[in-house]
């Protein structure tokens, strides 16, 4: 009977530690949600990566994702990377291209942390600590939701 109480208190203690560590770990991350649109419609299956400073290959990205059915991709990024680094969004898509041309657009966009609180470009929710931006895809360089132009280049798809 004594051992049963001892085990019960030990399990409760472990549960408290687990919950406190889990909540503490979540507070170190910021969730970034991006909605990609092609002609004002959700753009599905676009490859989106976020890189620190520069980009080379997808295996060197901080995070990588593919837009879902609604054109949304979600990333959880450490807050210290957002505050202390230059982050770039890299988008591979086939918006406004004909399949027979086999072209993809590779788009690069700089994320400036100072634009995270700009209500016209980013909606910040301090409760959930998440950032939301809409990226309209186009053949021309366009002003992105983070304040810098999205640089596009046509690349032959291999």
> Structural domain boundaries of the chain?
30-156
Dump pLDDT digits (tens) for 13-29: 666 666 665 555 556 77
Dump pLDDT digits (tens) for 77-120: 887 776 666 677 777 777 766 543 555 555 666 665 554 443 33
- The pLDDT assigned to 39 comes to 75
Which helix or strand (DSSP H or E) is residue 8 part of? helix 2-26
Dump pLDDT digits (tens) for 33-74: 888 888 778 888 888 888 776 555 555 678 888 889 888 888
**Phi, psi (5° rounding) for residue 2?**
-60, -40
Query: What CATH number does the domain located at 30-156 have?
Result: 2.60.40.10
Q: Under a CB-based contact definition with an 8 Å cutoff, are residues 75 and 31 in contact?
A: yes
Minimal CA–CA distance to 102: which of 154, 137, 38? 154
Q: Which long-range contacts (CB under 8 A, 24 or more apart) does 56-64 make?
A: 61/90, 62/87
pTM: 0.59
């Amino acid at each position: 009977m004594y051992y049963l109480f001892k085990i019960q208190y030990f399990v409760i203690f472990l549960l408290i530690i687990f919950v406190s560590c889990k909540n503490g770990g979540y507070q170190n991350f910021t969730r970034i949600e991006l909605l990609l649109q092609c002609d004002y419609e959700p753009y599905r299956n676009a490859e989106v990566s976020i890189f620190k400073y520069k980009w080379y290959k997808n295996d060197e990205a901080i995070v990588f994702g593919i837009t879902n059915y609604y054109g949304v991709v979600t990333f959880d990024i450490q807050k210290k990377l957002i505050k202390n680094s230059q982050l770039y969004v890299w988008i591979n898509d086939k918006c406004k291209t004909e399949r027979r041309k086999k072209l993809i657009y590779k788009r690069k966009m700089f994320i400036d942390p100072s634009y995270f609180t700009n209500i016209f470009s980013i909606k910040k929710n301090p409760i959930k600590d998440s950032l939301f931006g809409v990226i309209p895809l186009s053949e021309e360089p366009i002003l992105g939701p983070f304040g810098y132009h999205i640089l596009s280049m046509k690349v032959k798809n291999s």
